[in-house]
Amino acid sequence: DSDNGDGVRLEFNDVPAGLVNGVNAVFTLNNEPDPSSDILLFVNGLLQRQGASFDYTLVGDTITFNAGAVPTTGDTLLTSYRY
């Protein structure tokens, strides 16, 4: 977590809260990304794509993984974003 001096705050290596079990698709961030498109979300080191046709959607501070992209037991989630 840092401030670059112009009032923009950055969150690095935020692990979204939520049960990683292959069933749960909803995870919560520490902060709400602003703008919402300014987020990097990785699952096991692989960048995920945001959007209803891709890997996940983001509303406020809530990530919802789309069918076929739900993290399974043992997966590691990591995000970085502006807020």
In this prediction, residue 6 has a pLDDT band, given cuts at 50, 70 and 90, of confident
Task: Tell me the CA distances in angstroms from 33 to 6, 13, 21, 38, 68, one per residue in order.
Answer: 16, 13, 25, 7, 24
Residue 48 corresponds to which amino acid?
Answer: Q
Give the pLDDT score at 4: 62
Q: 40-64 pLDDT, tens per residue?
A: 999 999 999 999 999 999 999 999 9
